Amino acid sequence: MSDELLITVAGVGAEVMREQQPNLPLLPDEVGEEYRRAYDAGATIGHIHGRLPDGKPTQDRETFRAYSAAIRQRCPILQQFSTGGAVGMTVEERIAAVDLKPDMATLTLGTCNFGDDVFENSLPTIRAILSRLQQHGITPELEIFDDGMLATADVLFAKGLLKPPAHFDFVLGVPGAAAATAENLNHFARSIPTGCTWTVAGIGRRQTAMATMAIAMGGHVRVGFEDNIYYRKGELADSNARFVERAVRIAREVGREPASIAQARAILRLPAAA
Ligand code: KMH
Ligand code: ZN
């Protein structure tokens, strides 16, 4: 376990709309400012989805290029592109921007229900995304929404397609996938190979409880509008940074400091910055 805490800000997502969360950033400068505020508050990884100005989700390369530049202009937060995109997107759409060579990109290790929809990640889809990431030398973050996805990780490790240690993100609380419970978090954290690191993304009102458990267990934390729009019951968060600030306060109470960018690179086994 590292004492330093990785905090990922997932500030945009593909599902939440302005009608639900008026502070959702959509334009590049809005995204840049929002991620800069989150970085100033202690976040070291920015998980990025694309949106058109009207809020429609997109994985278009030019949108990612503009977001990436707007963030980079303002702060050195590590950039992690989503390859999950939004449900229903084709694999080619989902990976269209990875040739921009972000610091990391997500790789979901299985199909699951996603509310009324299905988030499709068959083995051929996983292999196609992984191969594109490897072609560009991009470190994947392995997204685990359900127990079976841990078994898929084992298969990929056994076949040598992935090499431990890897970094996992346990996304707990999506309707139709694994619930955000202490039992599931403990089970997931114990199921990954020795030396691997992990983050938890608790969905909805379980975000803070899951983050608190992860902080105590030696894991890492993801917060932001993609997963949760309320600061507390009935109160919309006025920015993603509020969630980061709260994670930092909780971490400091148990003796953990937010990681610096250099520490985050070391924890994630990313190459040192050029
Ligand atoms: N929007 C979800 C369907 C990822 O970023 O890699 C998928 C997702 C996962 O958000
Ligand atoms: Zn995402």
Output the CA 169–ligand 2 centroid distance in Å: 11
**How far apart are alpha carbons 254 and 58 in whole angstroms?**
39
- Integer angstrom CA distances of residue 158 from 92, 108, 162, 170: 26, 17, 8, 21
CA distance 110 to 142: 10
| Residue 272 confidence (pLDDT) | 80
Token output for 171 = 């996304």
Tell me the whole-structure pTM to 2 decimals: 0.98
Question: Which string of DSSP letters, residue by residue, matches 181-222?
Answer: -HHHHHHHHHHSPTT-EEEEEE-GGGHHHHHHHHHHHT-EEE
pLDDT of residue 2: 67
CB of 108 closer than 6 A to ligand 1?
A: yes
pLDDT tens for each residue of 74-118 = 999 999 999 999 999 999 999 999 999 999 999 999 999 999 999
Q: Both tokens of residue 219?
A: 């894991």
Q: Which ligand is nearest to the CA of 117?
A: 1
- Closest residue by Cα to atom 1, ligand 1, is 86
State how far the Cα of 47 lies from the Cα of 171, in Å rounded to an integer. Answer: 13
In testing the pocket of ligand 1, which one of 106, 118, 139, 149 has its CB within 8 Å of the most ligand atoms? 106
82 lines ligand 1 (CB under 6 A): yes
User: Is the C-beta atom of 207 inside 6 A of ligand 1?
Assistant: no
What is the pLDDT, as a whole number, of residue 22? 98
Ligand 1: distance of its center to the CA of 180 in Å?
17
Report pLDDT for 28. Answer: 98
Give the Å distance between the CA of 167 and the centre of ligand 1. Answer: 16
Closest residue CA from atom 8 of ligand 1: 84
Residue 273, pLDDT score: 78
Q: What is the pLDDT of residue 271?
A: 85
The rounded distance, in Å, linking the Cα atoms of 203 and 171 is 7
| pLDDT one-digit tens code per residue, 28-57 | 999 999 999 999 999 999 999 999 999 999
Instruction: For the chain, list residues with pLDDT below 50.
Output: none
Residue 14 Cβ contacting ligand 1 at under 6 Å: yes
For residue 86, the CA-to-ligand 1 centroid distance in Å is 6
Atom of ligand 1 nearest to the CA of 171: 9
Distance CA 73, CA 187 (A): 40
Q: What is the pLDDT of residue 274?
A: 66
